[in-house]
């Protein structure tokens, strides 16, 4: 089965920012597949088993999507994990597992999806970064490193693939109203808000709207960009 609409894959699309992105792209007319580790369908989105920490899982998922729905035209590399801790106490495993999922995992997904994009001479690679990739974050040496690395990765893809009509960009959220920020104490939230000019966290939908823009024809001349969606938290970086 193939579809007439454009196909988008959102990794880590089963909750939070990823699910908001899936909803937004669907409203734009895309056939959206959500990739995550158990592969179950979410709402009315078809799911596919996709573990970005495993190359064979990524390649198999992309092949399955192409067989059922057609070539992927938009990849949103959103899957990510955190294993926070002070650097002096951070184990190699805690550092390497975050890199393997957040950075190498994004590479695996982009490498696999871009094969079909090259054949079509069209595609959108959209990486979900973070303001901490530019600012740094105490207790998140591993996570910040991966989000910084995504910028170099996206810009390298932009230079490699631009002549084939493929764009590659990073969306860099600040603090977002998700399950991860819900657990912060009121004191911690107040401290964070002091550094945000807009004095609030963003919603997942506000991140998703920027992704929708980058996936659209309106962003056809934007590539290698880092677009902050952080309420002004990272100004000047």
Q: What one-character DSSP code corresponds to residue 202?
A: B
Residue in 228, 99, 193 with CA at minimum distance from that of residue 153: 99
Q: Which residues are catalytic?
A: 143
Question: Angle formed by the axes of helices 141-161 and 105-120, to 10°?
Answer: 20
Distance spanning both ends of the chain, measured CA to CA: 45
What secondary structure does DSSP assign to 160-189, as a single string?
Answer: HHGGGTEEEEEEEE-SBSSHHHHTS-HHHH
The partner residues of 168 in beta bridges, in order of sequence, read: 125
């Amino acid at each position: 089965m193939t579809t007439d609409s454009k196909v988008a894959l959102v990794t880590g699309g089963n909750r939070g920012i990823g699910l908001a992105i899936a909803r937004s792209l669907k409203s734009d007319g895309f056939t959206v597949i959500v990739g995550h580790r158990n592969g179950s369908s979410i709402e009315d989105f078809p799911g596919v088993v996709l573990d970005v920490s495993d190359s064979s899982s990524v390649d198999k998922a992309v092949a399955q999507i192409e067989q059922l729905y057609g070539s992927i035209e938009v990849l949103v590399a959103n899957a990510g994990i955190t294993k926070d801790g002070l650097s002096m106490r951070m184990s190699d495993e805690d550092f390497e597992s975050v890199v393997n999922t957040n950075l190498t995992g994004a590479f695996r997904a982009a490498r696999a999806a871009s094969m079909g994009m090259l054949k079509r001479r069209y595609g959108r690679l959209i990486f979900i970064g973070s303001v901490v990739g530019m600012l740094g974050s105490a207790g998140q040496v591993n996570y910040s490193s991966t989000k910084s690395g995504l910028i170099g990765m996206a810009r390298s893809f932009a230079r490699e693939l631009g002549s084939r009509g493929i764009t590659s960009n990073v969306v860099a959220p600040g603090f977002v109203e998700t399950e991860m920020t819900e657990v912060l104490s009121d004191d911690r939230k107040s401290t964070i808000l002091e550094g945000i000019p807009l004095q609030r966290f963003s919603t997942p939908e506000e991140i998703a709207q920027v992704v929708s823009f980058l996936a659209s024809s309106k962003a056809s001349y934007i590539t290698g960009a880092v677009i902050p969606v952080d309420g002004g938290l990272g100004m000047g970086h």
